């Protein structure tokens, strides 16, 4: 699970750098989600900022033809839930053990894409691999070093739209960076430490840049860190930091001169979406999606091996059925870098193809041992809750969470995400398949199949 809900604001670029900062902000979300609080704040027409909020792909061991007796009711075409649950869990184990971590930077993501494509092809689906390139901030872009009485390192977040480059200079506190806050002697060669508030980010940056500053560091005016965007491309590197760290820097300045150094860099990465399709009798399309990448250092059993295993198992269960619309499975790449795969996919579609999409069902972080939740489009949520009752699955309406469905939602396409709202192990080495609830995988498959039937899928 990768990112927080956002809107593409006027004059704010929606590219990969901003999306990466956006995704990394989800670490804040995880902390709040564990406490049970999920909230999203937006500040104004010319910026996008995130408050601490919540955030959250997988494969198939061997595809077999279902031969068990059908379950009665809305999901009558499925094999018993324990059978599909076992099959999905087997795929999850195979993916995480055979490939392991699937971060975009390491190349493991590409290996996972080949594996997923093979699974779909073995089932007889029409499979294509959609490659794309993106630019993201380097890992060095998130650390500020200070030298002085107490040399320290601080976490920072590049602003969306910031200039890139390596900077070093003496740190100077300039308050809110209003025109009257700029010292008479100027800021030539200085790194401006600025408090958030009253003046828009872009204006703060321009005020200190005109005075000669080589960089801007803006700290929060409330507890915790934040992410922000500039309405115009910055002329100097600009980063944000938490209020606590900003106040700590102010205290260091009181003790003497403080030198600050940081680097905002970019790197180009390649990723890919895996698309498997079964044509229907009508013109509409229903998309079932899950991202298969991970952050570095984790095999991503829950995030998102669980979702990938579910869509692969659904593909197996539904391959022999006919539909009044095209069924399109998409395993998205680079979700953890800012929903890049889903964004590229939707951006690549002409308007008439977008108009064909009747619904998008997203599966992400399904494995926590608590009841499944569904979030997103209200009409689809209602249908999903109704169908869950018919197949005896406990499903609740959940809070908004960041994942690939949001890209479709923003485009006006009905979309929902199935997930479990427990993010304690997300993005950590502890996100192991052994902690994934096999029952939840089976329940997600049952509800999805029932929902497809409610969307007029032929039995």
Cβ within 8 Å of residue 389, ≥6 positions away: none
pLDDT tens by residue, 25-51: 443 444 444 444 333 322 332 222 222
Q: Is residue 31 part of a domain?
A: no
CATH number at residue 420: 3.40.630.10
Residues 214 and 331 in one domain: no
pLDDT value of position 13: 31
pLDDT tens by residue, 289-345: 999 999 999 999 999 999 999 999 999 999 998 889 999 999 999 999 889 999 999
Q: Is residue 19 part of a domain?
A: no
Residue 122 burial (CB count, 10 A): 14
pLDDT value of position 83: 86
Domain boundary among 264, 282, 306: 264
Residues 201 and 105 in one domain: no
Q: Is residue 71 part of a domain?
A: no
Residues 224 and 110 in one domain: no
Residues 350 and 397 in one domain: yes
Average pLDDT over all residues of the chain: 83
Question: Would you call 192 exposed, middle or buried from its count of C-beta atoms within 10 A (0-12, 13-18, 19+)?
Answer: buried
Q: Is residue 438 part of a domain?
A: yes
Residues 144 and 130 in one domain: no
Distance CA 340, CA 338 (A): 5
Residue 293 burial (CB count, 10 A): 30
Span 373-384, average pLDDT: 97
Q: Is residue 433 part of a domain?
A: yes
DSSP character string of 52-101: S--------S------SPPPSSTTTTSPPHHHHHHHHHHHHHHHHHHT--
Q: Are strands 238-241 and 215-219 parallel, antiparallel or unpaired?
A: parallel
Q: Are strands 326-332 and 152-155 parallel, antiparallel or unpaired?
A: unpaired
pLDDT value of position 105: 84
Residues 185 and 257 in one domain: yes
Question: Measured between alpha carbons, how far is residue 435 from residues 58, 82, 303, 411 in Å?
Answer: 14, 17, 11, 35
Q: Is residue 284 part of a domain?
A: yes
Domain boundary among 264, 297, 321: 264
CATH number at residue 155: 3.50.30.30
Q: What is the pTM of this model?
A: 0.72
Span 370-395, average pLDDT: 97
Q: Is residue 352 part of a domain?
A: yes
Distance CA 181, CA 174 (A): 6
Number of compact structural domains in the chain: 2
* Of residues 11 and 239, more confidently modeled: 239
Span 137-143, average pLDDT: 78
pLDDT value of position 4: 36
pLDDT tens by residue, 118-136: 999 999 999 999 999 988 8
Look up the domain containing 92 and give its range: 81-136+268-454
Q: Is the pLDDT of residue 23 over 60?
A: no
pLDDT value of position 82: 54
pLDDT tens by residue, 261-272: 999 988 888 999
pLDDT value of position 77: 44
Domain boundary among 264, 299, 324: 264
Q: Is the pLDDT of residue 202 over 70?
A: yes
Distance CA 364, CA 308 (A): 8
Q: Is the pLDDT of residue 172 over 90?
A: yes
Q: Is residue 66 part of a domain?
A: no
Residues 398 and 273 in one domain: yes
* Of residues 134 and 97, more confidently modeled: 97
- Band (pLDDT 50/70/90 cuts) for residue 457 is low
pLDDT value of position 16: 41
Q: Is the pLDDT of residue 433 over 60?
A: yes
Span 191-208, average pLDDT: 95
Strands (E), 179-252: 191-195, 215-219, 238-241
pLDDT value of position 141: 75
Percent of the chain at pLDDT > 90 equals 67
* Of residues 234 and 398, more confidently modeled: 398
β-partners of residue 50 are: 227
Cβ within 8 Å of residue 16, ≥6 positions away: 134, 135, 136, 337, 338, 340
Residues 300 and 370 in one domain: yes
Residues 296 and 326 in one domain: yes
Q: Is the pLDDT of residue 178 over 60?
A: yes
170: number of CA atoms within 13 Å, CB side? 10
- Band (pLDDT 50/70/90 cuts) for residue 231 is confident
pLDDT value of position 452: 96
Of 194, 165, 181, which Cα lies nearest the Cα of 253? 194
Residues 148 and 279 in one domain: no
Residues 130 and 152 in one domain: no
Residues 235 and 275 in one domain: no
pLDDT tens by residue, 403-428: 999 999 999 999 999 999 998 899 99
* Of residues 227 and 325, more confidently modeled: 325
């Amino acid at each position: 699970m990768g990112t927080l809900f956002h809107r593409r604001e006027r004059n704010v670029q929606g590219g990969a750098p901003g999306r990466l900062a956006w995704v990394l902000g989800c670490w804040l979300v995880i902390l709040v989600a564990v406490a049970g609080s999920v909230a999203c704040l937006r500040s104004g027409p010319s910026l996008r900022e995130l408050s601490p909020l919540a955030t959250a792909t997988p494969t198939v061991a061997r595809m077999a033809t279902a031969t068990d007796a059908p379950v009665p009711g809305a999901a009558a075409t499925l094999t018993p839930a324990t059978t599909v649950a076992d099959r999905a869990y087997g795929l999850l184990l195979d993916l995480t053990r055979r490939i392991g971590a699937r971060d975009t930077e390491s190349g493991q993501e590409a290996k996972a894409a080949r594996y997923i494509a093979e699974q779909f092809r073995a089932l007889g689906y029409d499979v294509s691999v959609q490659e794309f390139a993106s630019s993201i901030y380097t890992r060095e872009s998130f650390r500020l070093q200070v030298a002085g009485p107490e040399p320290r390192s601080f976490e920072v977040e590049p602003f969306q739209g910031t200039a890139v480059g390596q900077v070093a200079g003496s740190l100077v506190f300039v308050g809110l960076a209003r025109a009257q806050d700029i010292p008479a002697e100027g800021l030539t060669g200085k790194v401006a430490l600025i408090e958030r508030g009253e003046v828009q980010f872009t204006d703060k940056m321009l005020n200190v840049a005109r005075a000669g500053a080589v960089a801007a560091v803006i700290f929060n005016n409330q507890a915790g860190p934040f992410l922000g965007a500039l309405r115009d491309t910055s002329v100097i590197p600009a980063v944000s930091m938490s209020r606590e760290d900003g106040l700590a820097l102010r205290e260091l300045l009181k003790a003497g001169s403080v030198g600050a150094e940081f680097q905002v860099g970019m790197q180009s990465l390649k990723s890919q979406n895996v698309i498997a399709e079964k044509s229907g009798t009508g013109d509409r399309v229903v998309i079932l999606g899950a991202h298969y990448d991970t952050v570095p250092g984790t095999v991503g059993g829950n995030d998102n091996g669980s979702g990938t295993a579910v869509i692969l198992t659904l593909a197996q269960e539904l391959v022999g059925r006919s539909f009044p619309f095209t069924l399109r499975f998409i395993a998205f790449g680079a979700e953890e870098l800012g929903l890049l795969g889903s964004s590229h996919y939707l951006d690549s579609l002409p308007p008439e193809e977008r108009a064909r999409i009747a619904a998008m069902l997203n599966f992400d972080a399904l494995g926590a041992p608590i009841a499944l939740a569904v979030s997103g489009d209200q009409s689809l949520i209602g249908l999903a809750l109704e169908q869950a009752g018919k197949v005896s699955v406990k499903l609740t309406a959940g809070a908004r969470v960041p994942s690939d469905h949001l890209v479709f939602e923003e485009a006006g396409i009905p979309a929902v995400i199935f997930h479990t709202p427990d993010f304690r192990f997300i993005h950590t080495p502890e996100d192991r398949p052994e902690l994934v609830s096999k029952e939840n995988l089976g329940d997600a498959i049952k509800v999805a199949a029932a929902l497809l039937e409610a969307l007029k899928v032929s039995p």
